[in-house]
């Protein structure tokens, strides 16, 4: 009876169709977005395949970002914009070395438990890893992928409007709506994790966070997307900076054999080109250099969960450093001792300490809210999409999935602990600020009372003097 009333929830599973080659869909990946002559590719990208229910300004931030090129197409942007020749992208193209299933008539399933994949994975056919500026990336994405890039990984450091224009000019109609959402979430500093299995598959994550860097050299995001902040009001003394940073990955494809991954990461606060660094070392960019390019991951889910685990671990380390620094900074403000008591209760006519406490509280709340969004997003992702990483049989791939999921859970638990620390610090600082305000108000009241007493005394003296004027000496 209870089962009839509460039927078991059928969790989302990874479609079995993706395990076999869907060759009839491959040509759709080369059907790129096109704009009518004289029309803007940005307008076409933002208006194509939209719902009537979408608000007209849903992608306004993305539009403003793309319009900074001032061009209607990418070729036009190359002639009207200052040429940006920086190698901000790293491209890894290769094809699966699997045997020709059509010739043998065998079932086109990848043998994950074979020695070929369980040990060192094959490097693939036609493997090519290279750096690219915006023009090179555009030419790369415009080409036909057949026999060239069944598996394509694109790592972009500090996405620029010109780089984004190259991306949208080559997007396939098949995954255009999802790519539009991906770019919007990235430029808008949103938190998101999700999986879609409509029109192929999409695996996506966005992890906004904050990083602490020494204030000896301050960096500015020339794109105007990210901000830097300070723990206390700016003054003459040197302060460490808190920089906004975003890590975004989208993996899209039609089956487990032909897929593309785009990773956009903010590194402007480091003063170094991370794409060049990974390229020189021949390391995979989206996973933070944890894997060598010559040992690629061929399964899209495996690649996604590897990158997600690496980046959440990276973000957790950044948060840990930031919160520890915060604690050291706030410790002197969190208690009143015999030495600080007289000074604490003094009047603060300029409200300097009150302003500092208010400033710091605003920063603390912003940081706490960012951690809350990340942990809540992961909880929802695991509850709704965690079953997409379930396999029917145990084996090496199954063990890898479980390992990375457990790592992420451990990092999220650590983030929850940091969230609790920020909560406690906010509560303490709010109480200290309240005490300071009350003490300041009390001091002002005491001063006003003393002034009133003085005025009263002067009034009495004046009355007495007028009533009994001094006798003039002859």
At 301-335, the pLDDT tens digits run 999 999 999 999 999 999 999 999 999 988 876 66
Residue 236, pLDDT above cutoff 90: no
Cα-atom radius of gyration of the chain, to the nearest Å?
A: 30
- For residue 351 the two structure tokens come to 């409200």
| pLDDT at residue number 39 | 92
Mean of per-residue pLDDT scores for the chain: 86
**Could you tell me whether strands 259-265 and 151-157 are parallel, antiparallel, or unpaired per DSSP bridges?**
parallel
DSSP of 49-73 = T--TTS-TTTTHHHHHHHGGG--SS
Instruction: DSSP letter for 19, please.
Output: G
Residue 267, pLDDT above cutoff 90: yes
Q: What pTM was computed for the model?
A: 0.87
| pLDDT at residue number 118 | 59
Identify which has the larger pLDDT, 455 or 51: 51
Residue 105, pLDDT above cutoff 50: no
| pLDDT at residue number 152 | 97
Identify which has the larger pLDDT, 108 or 88: 88
Residues 141-149, mean pLDDT to the nearest whole number = 90
Give Cα 117 distance to the centre of its chain. Answer: 32
Q: How confident is the model at residue 106 (pLDDT cuts 50, 70, 90)?
A: very low
Residue 230, pLDDT above cutoff 80: yes
CA distance 29 to 1: 49
Identify which has the larger pLDDT, 452 or 125: 125
Q: How confident is the model at residue 395 (pLDDT cuts 50, 70, 90)?
A: confident
| pLDDT at residue number 1 | 46
Q: How confident is the model at residue 147 (pLDDT cuts 50, 70, 90)?
A: confident
The closest alpha carbon to 408, from 310, 322, 317, 321, belongs to 310
pLDDT one-digit tens code per residue, 339-364: 655 555 555 555 677 778 888 999 99
| pLDDT at residue number 233 | 84
CA distance 361 to 352: 14
CA distance 73 to 16: 39
- Residues of the chain with pLDDT > 90, as a percent, come to 59
Residues 237-246, mean pLDDT to the nearest whole number = 91
Residue 81, pLDDT above cutoff 90: no
Q: How confident is the model at residue 197 (pLDDT cuts 50, 70, 90)?
A: very high
Q: How confident is the model at residue 273 (pLDDT cuts 50, 70, 90)?
A: confident
Residue 338, pLDDT above cutoff 70: no
Residues 18-34, mean pLDDT to the nearest whole number = 91
Do residues 211 and 318 lie in contact, with contact meaning Cβ atoms separated by under 8 Å? Answer: yes
| pLDDT at residue number 237 | 78
| pLDDT at residue number 119 | 64
DSSP of 297-366 = ---HHHHHHHHHHHHHHHHHHHHHHHHHHHHHHHGGGS---TTTHHHHTS--TT-HHHHHHHHHHHHHHH
CA distance 347 to 353: 10
- Sign of the Cα pseudo-torsion (275, 404, 121, 142, in order): negative
Instruction: DSSP letter for 214, please.
Output: -
- Sign of the Cα pseudo-torsion (124, 108, 15, 385, in order): negative
CA distance 160 to 374: 25
**Which of 7-16, 33-42, 178-187, 294-303 shows the lowest mean pLDDT across its residues?**
7-16
Residue 278, pLDDT above cutoff 50: yes
- For residue 328 the two structure tokens come to 């050291």
Identify which has the larger pLDDT, 63 or 469: 63
């Amino acid at each position: 009876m209870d089962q009839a009333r509460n039927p078991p929830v059928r969790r989302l599973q990874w479609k079995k169709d993706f395990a076999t080659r869907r060759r009839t869909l491959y040509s759709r990946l080369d059907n790129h977005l096109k704009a009518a002559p004289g029309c803007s590719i940005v307008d076409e990208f933002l208006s194509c395949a939209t719902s009537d229910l979408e608000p007209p300004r849903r992608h306004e931030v993305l539009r403003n970002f793309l319009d900074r090129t001032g061009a209607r197409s990418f070729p036009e942007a190359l002639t009207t914009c200052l040429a940006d020749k920086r190698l901000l992208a790293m491209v890894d193209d290769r094809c699966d070395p699997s045997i020709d299933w059509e010739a043998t008539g065998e079932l086109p399933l990848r043998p994950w438990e074979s020695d070929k994949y369980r040990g060192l994975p094959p490097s693939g056919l036609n493997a090519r890893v290279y750096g690219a500026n915006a023009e090179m990336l555009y030419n790369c994405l415009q080409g036909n992928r057949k026999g060239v890039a069944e598996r394509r990984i694109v790592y972009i450091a500090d996405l620029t409007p010109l780089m984004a224009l190259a991306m949208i000019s080559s997007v396939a109609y098949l995954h255009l709506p999802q790519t539009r959402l991906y770019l919007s979430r990235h430029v808008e500093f949103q938190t998101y994790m999700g999986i879609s299995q409509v029109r192929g598959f999409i695996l996506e994550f966005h992890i906004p966070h904050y990083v602490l860097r020494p204030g000896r050299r301050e960096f500015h995001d020339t794109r105007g997307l990210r901000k830097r902040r300070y723990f206390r009001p700016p003054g003459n003394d040197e302060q460490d900076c808190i920089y906004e940073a975003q890590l975004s990955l989208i993996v899209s494809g039609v089956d487990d054999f032909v897929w593309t991954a785009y990773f956009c990461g903010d590194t402007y606060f480091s003063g170094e080109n991370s794409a060049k660094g990974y390229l020189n070392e021949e390391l995979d960019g989206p996973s933070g250099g944890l894997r060598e390019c010559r040992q690629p991951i061929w399964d899209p889910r495996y690649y996604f969960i590897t990158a997600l685990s690496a980046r959440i671990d990276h973000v957790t380390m950044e948060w840990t450093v930031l919160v520890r620094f915060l604690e050291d900074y706030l410790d002197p403000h969190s208690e009143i001792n015999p030495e600080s008591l007289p000074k604490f209760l003094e009047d603060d006519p300029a409200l300097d300490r009150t302003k500092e406490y208010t400033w710091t509280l605003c920063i603390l709340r912003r940081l706490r809210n960012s951690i809350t969004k990340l942990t809540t997003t992961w909880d929802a992702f695991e509850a709704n999409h965690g079953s997409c990483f379930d396999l029917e049989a145990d084996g090496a791939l199954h063990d890898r999935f479980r390992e990375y999921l457990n790592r992420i859970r451990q990092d999220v638990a650590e983030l929850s602990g940091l969230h609790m620390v920020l909560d406690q610090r906010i509560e303490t600082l709010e109480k200290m600020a309240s005490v300071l305000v009350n003490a300041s108000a009390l001091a002002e009241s005491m001063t006003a009372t003393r002034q009133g007493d003085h005025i009263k005394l002067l009034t009495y003296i004046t009355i007495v003097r007028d009533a009994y004027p001094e006798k003039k000496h002859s």
